[in-house]
Structure formats: C-alpha cells, structure tokens
Amino acid sequence: MIESKVVAMLLAGGQGSRLKTLTKKIAKPAVPFGGKYRIIDFALSNAANSGIDDIGILTQYKPYLLNSHIGIGSSWDYDRNMGGLRILPPFTSEDGGRWYTGTANAVYENIDFLDEMNPEYVLILSGDHIYKMDYSQLLVAHKEKGADVSIAVMEVPWEDASRFGIVNVNQENKIVEFEEKPDNPKNNMASMGIYMFNWKELREYLIKDDENPDSDNDFGKNVLPMMLEEGKKMYAWVFDGYWKDVGTVKSYWEANMDLLDPLNTLDLYDKNWRIYTRTRNLPPQYLARGSAVKNALVNEGCYIRGTLRNSILFSDVIIEEEAEVIDSVVHSDCVIEKGAKVYRAVISEGMNVKAGEVIGQKDSEKIYLVSEEGISVE
C-alpha cells in the first residue's frame, strides 16, 4: 500500500451487552478469544499484515483494559516514528463533552485527525469480529471499480440473513439496495461492517449526516443509504473465508470450539498471516503424569494434572488431579481444584472452581457462563 495512503479507523467502543458478564468490566473487543488473543487482535493483525501504516482506534466503553492491551501498538509493530497507532477516545471541546453517538459519529468527531493525516482512502473496521482478511485486496478492487465506497460482504446462510444488514447488488457487484435486518431478504449477502471510502466523499457525507437531527449517525443505517440514494458508486467486495461476530455467549463458545476442528478455515498456525497479541511471557505448559489432554488448545503457564477434553485453556490455568474439564473455555488464571467437574462452560478470568464442585451438564445444549456474579445459563 505504498502508492496510496490509507488510514484505518477501528471502531472499538462497543459494549457487547449480549455477552453478559464477559463484558462487565471490558469492552467487547477486549474479550479473550482462542486461548491467547483478544477479539481486537484479529482486526489489528489484519491491518498490520495488510500493510496499513496508520490506524486510529476509537474507544469508548470501559477502555482501560483495551488501552493497556494495545499500549503503543508495539505488538503489531505500530510503534513507529512515522505513522502508527493512535487511540482516539471521545473528548470535550468548547461546546462541552460528547460521547460517540454512533459509528459514523465516532469518525465524524475525529475529522480533524483525518484531515491532518490527509489520506486518499479511509478504511472503517470493527474490533468485534474474528476473521483474517487482506485489506489491500479490498483496496485493489476499490480502485479497479473506481468506486466511492466498497463494502466487504459475505454469504451467510439464508436462515440467518434476516439478522444482518443485507446488500443487494447487480451483476457487476454494484450495490443497488441496502436492507437492514430484513424479514424477507432478497439476498444472502451480508455486510461485514468493513468499508473502504474515498476520504473526500466520506468527509462530505459525515458532515451532512451530522447536520441531520433525525440520524442515528450510523454507517449502515444512515450514511451508506444516503450515499447510495445520492448516486454514489458503491460496490460489494465478496469475502470468502472464516468470519464470526460473537454476539452471544453461545456463539462466543461456538467460535472458540471452531478452533478445535482440524478443518477450521481460521488457520492460526499460518506463518504468513500471524495473529499478534500482547504476550505475558510465561513459561511453557506442564502436563503431569496421569493427565489426559485430548482435542484441546492449551496456552503458556498452564499446569494440568487432570482431564481436559474438547476445551480451550488460556494462560496460567491450573487443573488439579481428578478434575475434569470438558467442552469448555477457561480464561486465564483460573484454578479447577481437585475432583471438580466442568462441562460446557465459559469460565471467566481468575475464577476458582472449588474441589468437588460440578459446573454445567455433559449432555446439554446449554452453555454455562461462570463469573464473580455466579453462573448464568444460556
């Protein structure tokens, strides 16, 4: 991406309230995922791997952990003299303080930042999704089509289509219509919330959108439909790969479990597209005599004496003897004490499952979320 300057704006202020206690203290992009990552690592690593030099991170909801996780961006090589990463929280001005009211508003409030960067293109990303994407391919397509806006879309199962923003296109993939969560979708092409804009155009429409008092200041709901209505050239760019929006505790659990499937398409071991994260520098994991670990992802610092099946352990988890962890996701610094049983659970960071305690049910459809607040079932 040397020829043309792209600035990415990563929306990381979401609460993710349907993740319940997982987002009690942290924003959704900071939720741990896949044994050693946080959700935002995927978008950040994609940006770094795609050769994007400048990125702004828009934070709002409970940002402390997110801020300390990102730091100055060194894990993603964004600690640079020229360009790099900036965290962009809401701020006060002469007119008082304002929170970001929507996705478009968050970018609108940072027009000064973007003016200073003066990019040709602005790439809007969400920090909520798990996927690997080469954004430079999106830019190539955007330029080839001579588009004003390019939107990454993907095919979703027809039965799920009504949960997404659906994009209707003509034969050249030119967008002719948006439908926000339609009851009877005409199409199963869902917008992924990833947009490549020409900055000049975007700037104009952000101001227009801000002047409209009835707008929710949302890209999907307001800005994009307005641009389409006014005849801007918008193209869909079809993405074919693993993508997950972990909206609920159950889909969070499922997305984690996907990683245990040997045929999963989110290949974390691909050395050409690594997912980077802030690491804790812990010693290797230890599996004791008598332990049984099958079909599991285990991270550094874990100490296992018991049984672990179909599960994902984050760092520094201790599983004592005769304890059993099956079909579960266990976050960092948890202890599963002697003889305890954990089935189909998501255990939050730092929890102790007491000796002999039983959590969850083996043959159930439900998922049990364990946190300081107790156990919630979904």
Partner 1 sequence: MEKCLGIISGANIENNFGALCVHRPVYMLPFAGRYRLIDFSLSNMVNYGIRTVAVYTGEKVRSTMDHVEDGKAWDLNRRFNGLFLFPPVSHGLSAKRTGEIPQYYTTKDFFEQTKEKYVFINHPNILAKVNLTEAFRFFRESDADITFIYKKQQDPFGEYVNTNKMNIGDDGMVLNIGTNLGTEREFNMYLKMGFLKKEVFMKLVKEAIERGESDNLLETILMNKHKYKINSYEFKGHVENIRNLKSFYDANLNLLKKNIARELFYSNGTIFTKTKDEPSTLYTEDSIVQNSLVANGCVIEGTVENSIIFRGVKIKKGAIVKNSIIMQKSEIHENAAVINSIMDKQGIVGEDVRIAGSMLMPFIVEKKQEIRKD
Site residues (vs partner 1, CB under 8 A): 34-36, 74, 260, 262, 268-269, 274-277, 279, 281-300, 308, 312-313
Backbone torsion region of residue 314, taken as left when φ is above 0, otherwise alpha when ψ lies between -120 and 50, otherwise beta: beta
Kind and range of the H or E run holding 39: none
* Contacts of 111-115 spanning 24+ positions with Cβ under 8 A: 111/203, 111/206, 111/207, 113/56, 113/86, 113/88, 114/7, 114/9, 114/56, 114/199, 114/203, 115/203
Give the shortest CB-334-to-partner 1 separation in angstroms: 15
Give the shortest CB-250-to-partner 1 separation in angstroms: 22
Q: Which is nearer to partner 1, 111 or 259 (CB)?
A: 259
Give the shortest CB-369-to-partner 1 separation in angstroms: 21
Q: Which is nearer to partner 1, 228 or 268 (CB)?
A: 268
Q: Which is nearer to partner 1, 35 or 185 (CB)?
A: 35
Q: Which is nearer to partner 1, 191 or 299 (CB)?
A: 299
Q: Which is nearer to partner 1, 89 or 290 (CB)?
A: 290
CB 315, CB 280: distance < 8 Å = yes
Give the shortest CB-255-to-partner 1 separation in angstroms: 15
Task: Say whether 105 sits in a helix, a strand or coil.
Answer: helix
Q: Which is nearer to partner 1, 179 or 327 (CB)?
A: 327
Interatomic CA distance for residues 143 and 148, integer angstroms: 9
CB 32, CB 38: distance < 8 Å = yes
Interatomic CA distance for residues 341 and 83, integer angstroms: 50
Q: State phi, psi for 105 to the nearest 5 degrees.
A: -65, -35
Give the shortest CB-72-to-partner 1 separation in angstroms: 12
Give the shortest CB-56-to-partner 1 separation in angstroms: 23
Kind and range of the H or E run holding 368: strand 368-371
